[in-house]
């Protein structure tokens, strides 16, 4: 009986690690899922991820969610439109054409993913997603926006500025 308990105790960490590895999706799959969930906002047909608290919680890290909520509270007090009311996944692109999502780097609990697309007005957009693995899923912790004309900004920078 003791041998069975010892054997089970020794094998338990391996079983749990295998289960975690099976269920763990890639960070680029999480970014692609965010674009699918946000399709209504990208096409101008609805609020998308930013209008649904469940989707926000699914795709954003806890830290980023707190920053977004704090910025919305301040904006409401000042009767201003929140900075994140726009669509953070397309950087206000009039159209999103030819989306490609590729990994840049990945560690156990952090990753960087790049999403590139044509804006529809001739310019190309490059968004770099800083991802965190928390609550069993990859979540967006920041977005760095860069256009080919050299301009750049981050979602956290936008939130802090307002």
Tens digits of per-residue pLDDT, 101-133? 999 999 999 999 999 998 877 778 899 999 999
**94 φ, ψ (degrees, to nearest 5):** -65, -30
Q: Which one has a higher pLDDT value, 108 or 159?
A: 108
Interatomic CA distance for residues 87 and 146, integer angstroms:
15
Q: Is the pLDDT of residue 36 over 70?
A: yes
Q: Which two tokens stand for residue 11?
A: 């094998």
pLDDT band at 159 (very low <50, low <70, confident <90, very high): confident
Q: Is the pLDDT of residue 24 over 50?
A: yes
Domains of the chain by start residue, with CATH: 26-161 (3.10.450)
DSSP string, 105-118: EE-SSEEEEEEEEE
First vs last C-alpha separation in the chain: 64
Q: Which one has a higher pLDDT value, 54 or 90?
A: 54
What secondary structure letter does DSSP report for 52? -
The reported pLDDT for the residue numbered 78 is 79
């Amino acid at each position: 009986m003791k041998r069975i308990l010892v054997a089970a105790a020794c094998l338990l960490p391996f079983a749990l690690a295998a289960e975690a590895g099976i269920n763990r999706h890639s960070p680029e799959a999480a970014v692609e899922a965010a674009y699918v969930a946000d399709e209504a906002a990208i096409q101008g047909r609805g609020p998308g991820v930013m209008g649904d608290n469940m989707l926000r919680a699914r795709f954003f890290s806890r830290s980023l969610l707190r920053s977004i909520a704090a910025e919305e509270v301040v904006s409401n007090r000042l009767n201003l439109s929140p900075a994140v009311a726009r669509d953070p996944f397309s950087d206000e692109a009039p159209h999103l054409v030819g989306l490609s999502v590729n990994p840049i780097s990945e560690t156990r609990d952090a990753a960087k993913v790049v999403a590139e697309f044509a804006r529809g007005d001739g310019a190309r957009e490059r968004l770099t997603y800083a991802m965190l693995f928390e609550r069993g899923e990859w979540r967006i912790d920041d977005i760095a926006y860069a256009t080919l004309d050299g301009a750049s900004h981050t979602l956290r920078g936008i939130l802090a500025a307002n």
